[in-house]
Structure 1
Amino acid sequence: MKAAKDRQASYANKRRRPLEFQAGDLVFLKVSPFRSVMRFGHKGKLAPRYVGPYEIVERIGPLAYRLLLPPELSSIHDVFHVFMLRKYETDPSHVLRITRLS
């Protein structure tokens, strides 16, 4: 059992990467697509997986970060887990305009 557990852990750990951001970094925020729900101008599977970029204001703990969200997203809590964030690489085509969250 121990050998099987170690083997599975080694497979899983190959894909893991430590994520760490600093205050002032730009990141994308992961949003969950829902069926038949209009989000960010698209419906269902065509809705974007990530929105942003947003600036990190502060690091709350080892895995939590506070983001500077626009007024359109004021109904969402501004602290997110590190796995909901993706590093922003400069590219003008990544920027999505948010009209409303409904």
Structure 2
Amino acid sequence: MAAVRERQKSYADKRHKLLEFQKCLSDETLIVPLEEIQVDEQLRFIEEPAEIMDREVKQLKQSKIPIVKVRWNSRRGPEFTWEREDQMMTKYPHLFKTTTNIESAR
């Protein structure tokens, strides 16, 4: 009797997973055109930041960390993230050239 129950449970689990997969396939907001997908040598998604949206200084107990709100060109996951300004400036200096010009004009 236990073997029959286990077989039925296994069948139900597989069916449930299949239904969840079909729900994902039918959600058109999850579809990303192939020409927009970029991957590196390890087949990881490459996402590039589009622009710096905002700046803040995160206050810790004994230090302050400048952070920037970044808009990414990705269609999956969050559209905006907060990143450390120094790391973003090192990796993507071109994003800061336009914001520096805007700030110096003020």
Query: Structure 1 length as normaliser, TM-score?
Result: 0.33
Higher relative contact order (CA 8 A, sep 6+): 1
Q: Larger radius of gyration, structure 1 or 2?
A: 2
Query: Structure 2 length as normaliser, TM-score?
Result: 0.32
**Which protein has the bigger strand share?**
1
